[in-house]
Structure 1
Amino acid sequence: MASLNPLTSKLGFRKAKHLLRRATFNYSKSQLDAIADMTATDAVNSLATLPPNILAEPYDPLPTSNPDGFWTSSTNHPNTFTGQTRKRALVTAWWWYNAINQVTLKHKLSFFIHTSFTVGKDSGAGLSTNFYDHIQLLDLYAYGNLKTLAKKITLDNSMLDYLDNTNNVATNPNENYAREFLELFTILKGPQIGNGNYTNYTEIDVQQAAKVFSGFKQQLSRAIIDTETNLPSGYANKNQHSTSNKTFSAAFNNQVIIGKNTETGMFEELHDFVEMVFAQPETAKAYCRKLYKFYVKSEWNETVENDIITPLSQILITNNYDILPVVKALLASEHFYDADDGNPSDNIIGSIVKSPMQLLNEVSTLFNLELPNPNTNAAQYYANFFFYFVHNVYLKGASMDFFNPDSVAGYPAHYQEPDFDRLWFSSNTLISRYKLIESLILGKNTITSGNIFVKLDTVLFVKNNILNPSNPNDLVTEIANLLYPESIDTDRTNYFKGFLVDAGFPDYYWTGAWSDYISTNDNTTVKVRLDALITAMINAAEFQLM
């Protein structure tokens, strides 16, 4: 029986790896050691911190002669700045730097919200400053209330632009946002049972929702500040709002939202509509299914639906759609750790193919990659490393256009049956995935070309993190235990050991080489071997899974 009961035993190293990978974007040995000695509940609570961002705002180092700098806090109108596409990418550079430098549930939940209320940054999100405000909204509600977020994001300037609601007026309704709000952002369709009837809502409901949303407009100057979020917001134009009553279908018990002709009335209609949608049990289940897919696995059976999804949805409803209690319950549960049946290693731990971002995050944080400091080497971090290498080459080459999925449905790996996350790993993505570690070790973009101003020191990593680096068997085993969800067998250990000790040579060859390095500080020999070993272990099938 699948169980949401909390796992009461201490996590141990294997389950700590599972939790840290699935719940955060920072995966380090020190943090693994810290939470391995905790119970699941204590570990999850320790991760549910809300630290202030390390980087307060993004920075643009261009143009070289007179950088735009902290343009998102400039008093100039947002449309006066050039390079908007680059600047939107720099916003994600700011977000990513905070995400990998903090051990918290916040950033992964922020990304989950991005996949649930999708905006494509380069396919209609508008000005880079508006996109920055959008990302701040996601961060603000990472631990917050989904129902409230559904109201706030309706007036988010990027969302208003992306799904055309800024063009939705009473005399010329635009149903784009209304349709996606129901189909993708909240209740979802359900099985189609007739022409224009999708079980959870109908085409009539889309039309009526569009009327509710009519008249909400972009405010590009950022002159309007929402008093609850303290973020720039769109505005209500009563002259372009449909003032008629909105009558919904039997899917919503034929509820009528009374039409209003004032700005205050428009917000009252929005409130009533969102409350109506979130009053449906299927809305809570839709979010819990998304959370399960995001944190646990992409497919499940009827037992999981009944014993995990449905109880989680009740937790969500009981907490009036606050998301954090649901996430805590899931991540602390016996089910999450494969501990609710007779087979503790069945099919959850190691069952998800890592996204390109997850792959990069783990390599960066586990190996303590020394990135250029954005405050003192802005050009190297924002431009050379992130924009030209991570954003434009690695992530795109690995089929993850960062914060810019190819449709409002999100990244295909999150929704496209039957492959789901297996879509991250294909013949089209192999070169970028496999050349990532090579690029980081060499400090060069080996996917295309260029200096990335980052260099991974494999020797220093081994020296600082491996207990017995002079023994090749222990060395391989310890690294494998850090890198992989499960332990490797003797055959795999011997295979990887071959990168340290040539076939036919005794183990003491490596022991002597390491001893020479320690006594002379000349790492030439061990570096060549360790570079090859780490490259092979990162590119192994075991590391592609989490």
Structure 2
Amino acid sequence: MASLSPKTTVLGRRLAAHLLRRTTYNLTKTRIDQFALLTPTQAISILLTKNPPTLSEPLEAATGLPWLNNDREPETDDFKLKGYLRAWWIDEALKDTGIEHKLIFFFHSNLVANVQETDSYRYWDHMSLFRYYVLSDYKKLCSKMATDIVMLYYLNNAENYKDNPNENFARENFELFTVGKGPQIGPGNYTFYTEQDIQEAARLLTGFGWAERSEEKDPETSISRGGANMYNHDSGEKIFTSAFQSRHIPGSDSSEGMWVELQSFYDMIFDQDETAKNITRKLYRYLVGKNITPEIENDIIGPLATTLKSNDYQVIPWLSQLLLSQHFYDEDDSDSKDEIIGSIVKSPLELVLQAMSFLKIAVPDVQVDAVKHYDQFYCDGIMHNMLEPGGLDIFAPVNVAGYAAYYQAPGYSRSWFNGGTIYARYKLGTMLLNGETLYGGDLGSKVDIVTFVQNNIPGTDVAANVVHFFIDYLFPEAISDDRFDYFLNTVFLNKLSAINWRIEWQKFINSGVDTEVIIPLTNLVTAVLSSPEYQLG
């Protein structure tokens, strides 16, 4: 039976790696070994620790100076500045030892907006909301997003006036962001909301729109937001259907009253059990797996949703209950290898950043060479040559539904792996180890594989030790003897004797010349990173 009963024994290497793959982008041998000695309670305590950013905000590459929170006029066009903002976030995600960035991307994939449809200043504010609430209050995050400038314009609520209502945000807010769309049980009735509810919500949301960044700030977060314009607001009472217990929300005749209406609206939505269940199902598919059977719905989703709602949508109790559970580690039935470990296809972000962190690639120092760091390595190399060809234009999904891997049944995460993305995924090892982009350009850095092996693998002169190291740490499950033989004898040794490797490694130790050892090591790691096993997390 699927169970949320907590796992209390130490993780061991296999489950430590599973936990880290699912919750962070920072995957290293040291961290796996550290977590292997911990119980889930100890491990989750570390993951839920919020770490300050290593760089408080992105820099303009041309000047090496920040531009977002001062009066300095940048020298660079805003399209490139948005690239630097995204690069900054990716770099922070690479370094983050907690769950924060993995969870921010989850919330972004649910509360979708597109970075390319705004300017860098407003997208910084948008991302700041995620960072502020990521480990605290999902309900507040949703309600604050309603008046975030990026969201107001992305879903047209800035064009929602009492004399000409626009229902776009109201509709998507119900369908995608909160309660979710259920079976259609009548004309305009989607079980959990109706067309009438959309119309009433649109009326309530009239009048929220543009405000200068410096003039309108949220009183709790101090983050810039949109303004409340009473002239454009429908001041009448809003009456919702039985889907919301026929709730009446009184109208207001002041801008202050508009904020009260908005809060009452979100209180109504988050009073619904289905809101908690909908977001819990999304979290489950993001962190655990795509298959929500009736058993999982009853024994996992329902209780988790109850935890979320009873804690007023505080994230940590809900998240902890899932990550501490026997179910998360597939230890709630007789077969611990058939459902969860290795069941999700890695996103391009997971695929790339976990390889970068594990192999310790030296990212160009932003303080030394900001152009190389931002323009060459992150914007061109990582985003344009790895993530985008892999199917992820980060923070710029093609539509409001987000990324297909997180909503499109029945494949879900398998959407990342298709004929259009396979080349970039399989070229990952070549790009990182050779320091080249997808079609042969200069990445700006590369993995020093010989030094990495020398510093991390004991008994390196034994060929089987080298192969075991990469397979044991980077694959979610053990592989067959035949598969191991392929990596050892066909890929690494190239059909030569293991004694040849021992001789060549000893020559390298004696001379420092790595010519004969770098080739088999590069072949092995490239094969591991392009293997079907590494695609799974």
TM-score, structure 2 normalization? 0.98
CA distance in 1, matches of 2:11, 2:214: 47
- 1:30 has 2:30 as partner: yes
Aligned equivalent of 2:525: 534
Q: Which amino acid aligns with 1:41?
A: T
CA distance in 2, matches of 1:168, 1:355: 36
Q: Is contact 2:104–2:131 with CA below 8 Å preserved after alignment?
A: yes
CA deviations 1:524-546 (Å, max 9, x no partner) are 10001101110011101100001
> Which secondary structure state, in structure 2, belongs to the residue aligned with residue 72 of structure 1?
coil
CA deviations 1:87-118 (Å, max 9, x no partner) are 22211111111111120011111111101111
CA deviations 1:404-433 (Å, max 9, x no partner) are 111111101111111111111111101111
Q: Is contact 2:64–2:367 with CA below 8 Å preserved after alignment?
A: no
CA deviations 1:100-148 (Å, max 9, x no partner) are 11200111111111011111112x3x11110011111111111011111
CA deviations 1:166-199 (Å, max 9, x no partner) are 1111111111111111000000011111111000
Aligned equivalent of 1:351: 343
Measured after TM superposition, the shift of residue 466 of structure 1 is 1.2
CA distance in 2, matches of 1:119, 1:283: 20
Aligned equivalent of 1:100: 94
Aligned equivalent of 1:411: 403
Q: Which of 486, 490, 493 is the equivalent residue of 2:477?
A: 486
Q: Which of 511, 515, 526 is the equivalent residue of 1:520?
A: 511
Measured after TM superposition, the shift of residue 74 of structure 1 is 2.6
> Which secondary structure state, in structure 2, belongs to the residue aligned with residue 408 of structure 1?
coil
CA distance in 2, matches of 1:279, 1:534: 51
Q: Is contact 1:338–1:344 with CA below 8 Å preserved after alignment?
A: yes
CA distance in 2, matches of 1:209, 1:68: 45
CA distance in 2, matches of 1:292, 1:326: 11
- 1:475 has 2:466 as partner: yes
- 1:116 has 2:110 as partner: yes
- 1:178 has 2:170 as partner: yes
CA distance in 2, matches of 1:241, 1:116: 27
Aligned equivalent of 2:57: 57
Q: Is contact 2:48–2:98 with CA below 8 Å preserved after alignment?
A: yes
CA distance in 2, matches of 1:368, 1:68: 25
- 1:20 has 2:14 as partner: no
Measured after TM superposition, the shift of residue 499 of structure 1 is 2.6
CA deviations 1:230-250 (Å, max 9, x no partner) are 211111111111101101011
Q: Is contact 1:5–1:334 with CA below 8 Å preserved after alignment?
A: yes
Structure 1: 5+ residue runs without aligned partners? Answer: none
Measured after TM superposition, the shift of residue 489 of structure 1 is 2.3
- 1:153 has 2:145 as partner: yes
Measured after TM superposition, the shift of residue 81 of structure 1 is 7.0
Q: Sequence identity of aligned pairs in percent?
A: 38
CA distance in 2, matches of 1:306, 1:218: 44
The two structures, once aligned, show a CA RMSD in angstroms of 1.3
CA distance in 2, matches of 1:310, 1:500: 48
> Which secondary structure state, in structure 1, belongs to the residue aligned with residue 275 of structure 2?
helix
Measured after TM superposition, the shift of residue 45 of structure 1 is 1.1
> Which secondary structure state, in structure 2, belongs to the residue aligned with residue 541 of structure 1?
coil
**Which shifted more, 457-466 or 17-26?**
457-466
CA distance in 1, matches of 2:256, 2:337: 55
Aligned equivalent of 1:168: 160
CA distance in 2, matches of 1:83, 1:182: 36
Aligned equivalent of 1:495: 486
**Which shifted more, 213-222 or 416-425?**
213-222
Q: Which amino acid aligns with 1:423?
A: S
- 1:432 has 2:424 as partner: yes
Q: Is contact 1:157–1:220 with CA below 8 Å preserved after alignment?
A: no
> Which secondary structure state, in structure 1, belongs to the residue aligned with residue 427 of structure 2?
helix
Using a 3 Å threshold, how does the CA distance of structure 1 residues 133 and 373 change in structure 2: closer, same or farther? same
Using a 3 Å threshold, how does the CA distance of structure 1 residues 57 and 541 change in structure 2: closer, same or farther? same
The runs of at least 4 consecutive aligned structure 1 residues that moved more than 3 Å come to: none
Aligned equivalent of 1:248: 240
Aligned equivalent of 1:300: 292
- 1:73 has 2:69 as partner: yes
Aligned equivalent of 2:365: 373
CA distance in 2, matches of 1:292, 1:196: 29
**Which shifted more, 386-395 or 92-101?**
386-395
CA distance in 2, matches of 1:512, 1:274: 69
Q: Which amino acid aligns with 1:27?
A: L
Q: Is contact 1:500–1:510 with CA below 8 Å preserved after alignment?
A: no
> Which secondary structure state, in structure 2, belongs to the residue aligned with residue 417 of structure 1?
coil
Aligned equivalent of 1:459: 450
**Which shifted more, 357-366 or 213-222?**
213-222
- 1:448 has 2:439 as partner: yes
Q: Which amino acid aligns with 1:180?
A: E
